[in-house]
Chain A
Amino acid sequence: MSVIPRLQFEGISKMFPAVRALGDVSFSVGGGEIHGLLGENGAGKSTLLRILSGVYRPTAGRVLIDGRPVALNNPVAARAAGVAMIHQELQQVPHLSVAQNMFLGHPLTRGGIFVARREQERRAAEALAAIDPTIDPAAPLGSLKVAQRQIVEIARALLDRARIVAMDEPTSSLTPSEFERLAEVIAGLARDGVAVVYVSHKLDEVFGICHRATIMRDGVVVDSVNLARVSEKAVVSMMVGRELAQEQHRSHASSEVRLSVRGLASATKVHDVSFDLHRGEVLGIAGLVGSGRTELLRLLAGADRASSGTVEIDGRAIKLSNPRDAIAAGIGLVPEERKREGIVPLRSISSNMALASMGVFAPRGVIDHTRLKRVAAEKMKRVNLRPFLLDRPIRLFSGGNQQKAIIGRWLAAGTRILLFDEPTRGIDVGVKAEIYHLIEELAAEGHSVVVVSSELPEVIRLADRVLVMRDGTVAAELGRADLSEQAIAAHAIPQSEARAGTARHVGVTDRTSG
């Protein structure tokens, strides 16, 4: 590592009308360093990345690369200065080839007119060879898996001879072995002297691959720390600004069977799933992305149709041909992709809440707005909506509060079986605890809850019992006594991936074995 840091933020401030997004942010990242950037939503991480990639200009302060101040006035200038940005939602064109995507916006040409497609593919292949030679530069990008697309983005950064690579939540949808591959590639970048800025919500990942990390809160830097010398718990309290109480699991499950599923299957992703869900029980469903967890929930919520199998509620068989059937039977889904499947963004909190129970609010065809307002106030108090503005469009609320409104929707509809798909995806650490608390209270009141989650600590924190899914079916059932991350992982990972999976838990220091 050289003495002059590769990347330096010096007193960066960013003011928006009436809001200070960043205040006097200073830290540096050396060449060859992988630097984690941590903080809750709204802490200023994204604003800082946007300044680094030339989307925003700072109100005060400057960015130095290799000790020299650089003017990152627009994305093109940032790219020219050697900054490559790898976005959370990949900004690629699926219909174009891998090579075309890598040269998007600045294609190689012959005589400035014709695109030199062959030459692009040759250069793309060269860049890819260093990290993943199995990717065909001529293949349409859409045919690649998400993990491979990430690799393509990184190869594109190599092609640009980037000296700084900023990654925003790159692993949100990767399997353990894919993550392992990505971690290797990132380590490779660092070995070549690139400074990597790595933004992620997943602390175990940051601890696994980063050397140092900067923790931000409310637009300012709390501290920059050497990750070898601090605990995860200490980092969390820096992010949240207070100690998070460690809560103990408490079970409210009764012996009364509420939901009984037998031999449930869909055309493709779910095969022969059977289980019982009791009154007051929180049933966790773990498994890798693609193991059929989301698909199972969608079958139970009536969003997709089962090809075979039966579902009984309180001993009575029910038909689930659309979500209305499920809602009538007392089942409600809190989906993973809140923006796409949960909220109607332009509508108010009240409207979003009432959507699943319009019949109740309009017994004679006309909506009783007085009653709707009263129920909305009651339910939103129950879920602790903040700020408590029921007529405000839901899009203006944070992810955590949107989630609370969706939960309120099912409470208003009198739902007795709540299906949560990744209940805290994209939700701040502080609000996470609130959602956990809410789920427990709902169970205590006699609701039956299913929680699908990729975060093993979350499953272990919440579940009375865990089903581990693999390849569309239930691979194991674990009671509270047998519950551990290792036990879940052992059942979740197909045999061929078992070695890579355990490597992930050991951490990237072990990467030579891969």
Chain B
Amino acid sequence: MTDVTEHTAARPRADFLHRFSVRDAGTLIGLVVILAVFGALVPGFFAERNLINILQQSSINACLALGMTLVIISGGIDLSVGPTAALSAVISASMLVAGVPFPLAIAAGFAIGLVCGLLNGVLVAYVGLQPFIVTLGTLSTYRALALIYTGGNPVLGLPAGFRAIFNGSLFGLPLAVIIVAVVALIAWVILKKTPFGEYLLAVGGNEEAAYIAGVPIARTKIAAYMISGLLAALAAQILIGRLGAAEPILGNLWELDAIAAAAIGGASLMGGKGSVVGTILGAVILGTMRNGLTLMNVQSFYQLLATGLIILAAMLIDRVTRGRG
């Protein structure tokens, strides 16, 4: 596959196709198959409204999964995204209810996400603790802070104006979907076109070699966790905009869906490997499964089972096709 580069370099179109990796094509085929199956089984599945529904339902997970993908590529993991989102949500929400201007309240929510990510990153990069343990610890810590801050009660009655921001639509698409699409585009540019993207891949692929080559290891890792925190905060704003309320327990188990989307999309938990396109497709696959099974009135137990099987199937296909370099 890689052998063709010399011939294609001159042609931008072929170059684009070349960049669309074999692994991403596999994920896309998986999505097409799943869509076809539901299309055949569920009447009205392909209705425009339902397809938009799927995108909308996938958008929050996709948003988190993009940050997760960057962290996973750097060789880490972020289990704290759900509680980070919750903390960001309740603080923004309480400011909104208190009458703070929208931009300020939203900025405060983003700042919370960045700070949560910063703490994760510093503990991983400077203190040298294992990412799994660090974010397991902050998972409880951030959740506890959200619960303590609210006394365990939801923050209700968000202003209609705020809700309108995230519930609007543009060109017939929900604004949430468009926001996440823009975020995905930015993430793709970061990974493919910036030194930071190369550094992420190098740090996750071989930290020692990256260090000798002068890559700023700590800064790279911390930035990945901060982006993950920021995107968790963005997901939180989208959610509370939709619901009109912020619960301190929101975002429970979000980290697992985000990891699943990244893994289905080809990210390796060993680090050094992952794809923005793949992760988006992975999130849409999970969203499609949920939507289709719900329309078929399948019990939620079986939905969980299906999700599990999809993840395992993706990993098995990865394993089987790996040998062909």
Contact = CB atoms under 8 A, between A and B. Distances in A.
A396 interface: yes
Contacts of B5: 389-391
Contact of B212 (A323, A373, A392): A323
A309 B158 CA distance: 63
Contacts of A391: 2, 5
A358 interface: yes
A223 B152 CA distance: 81
A347 B208 CA distance: 15
Contacts of B189: 366
A344 B214 contact: no
Contacts of B273: 346
Interface in A477-502: none
A324 B209 contact: no
Name the interface size band of chain A. Answer: 35 or more
Contact of B3 (A347, A361, A392): A392
| Most A Cβ at <10 Å: residue of B9, B199, B206 | B206
Contacts of A340: 206, 208-209
Interface stretch (B87-95, B190-198, B240-248): B190-198
Contact of B201 (A322, A341, A347): A347
| Most A Cβ at <10 Å: residue of B193, B205, B209, B211 | B209
A413 B291 CA distance: 52
Given A327-B214, A347-B201, A356-B214, A362 B209 contact: no
Interface in B162-211: 189, 193-195, 198-199, 201-202, 205-206, 208-211
Nearest to B202: A344
A323 B202 CA distance: 15
B198 A346 contact: no
A395 to B, nearest CB: 8
B2 A335 contact: no
Given A367-B195, A390-B5, A392-B2, A355 B210 contact: yes
Contacts, number: 90
Interface string A339-369: 0111111111001001110110110011101
A53 B25 CA distance: 40
Nearest to B272: A346
Contact of A396 (B199, B206, B210, B325): B325
Interface string B134-173: 0000000000000000000000000000000000000000
Chain B interface SS verdict (over half)? helix
B206 A358 contact: no
B17 interface: no
B213 A356 contact: yes
A351 B198 contact: yes
B128 interface: no
A341 B2 contact: no
A373 B15 CA distance: 13
Contacts of B209: 335, 340-344
Contacts of A323: 211-214
B193 A367 contact: yes
A407 to B, nearest CB: 13
B206 A367 contact: no
A362 B199 CA distance: 13
Given A362-B195, A367-B193, A344 B3 contact: no
Nearest to A298: B212
B199 A344 contact: no
Contacts of A409: 213
B101 interface: no
B215 interface: yes
A358 B211 CA distance: 14
B216 interface: yes
A358 B2 contact: no
A5 interface: no
A355 B198 CA distance: 7
Given A351-B198, A362-B195, A365-B194, A301 B216 contact: no
| Most B Cβ at <10 Å: residue of A323, A326, A369 | A323
Given A340-B209, A346-B272, A389-B5, A355 B215 contact: yes
Given A373-B9, A392-B2, A344 B272 contact: yes
Q: Which 5 A-B pairs have the closest CB atoms?
A: A358-B195, A344-B205, A355-B213, A327-B214, A391-B5
10 contacts: A335-B212, A341-B208, A341-B212, A351-B202, A355-B198, A366-B189, A367-B198, A389-B5, A393-B2, A409-B213
Given A322-B214, A344-B201, A355-B198, 6 more contacts: A327-B213, A335-B212, A341-B208, A347-B205, A366-B194, A391-B2
